[in-house]
Amino acid sequence: MAEAMDRPRAWLMAEAIKQYVPREEWFIREVEKGVQAADEGCLTDHGDMRAKWDRKRADQMD
């Protein structure tokens, strides 16, 4: 990949890490928020969510 981009391998690795770390930090924060919301009882019924997605999928097929 580095060769195809005409960049050194070290540059490619540094770029990958610069993108990976913030994305993982974001993911961890979002999971923690979700766990906290669930602990506080902020949950959605599975049937309600399934119906919402079924309607969305049906709308996309029209």
Residues 25-43: tens digit of each pLDDT:
999 999 999 999 999 999 9
In this prediction, residues 31-60 reach a mean pLDDT of 95
Dihedral angle, C-alpha 46, 49, 55, 59, nearest 10 ° = -140
Q: How confident is the model at residue 62 (pLDDT cuts 50, 70, 90)?
A: confident
pTM of the model: 0.62
Average pLDDT value over all residues in the chain: 95
- Asked if 9 and 2 touch (Cβ cutoff 8 Å), the reply is yes
- Asked if 2 and 8 touch (Cβ cutoff 8 Å), the reply is yes
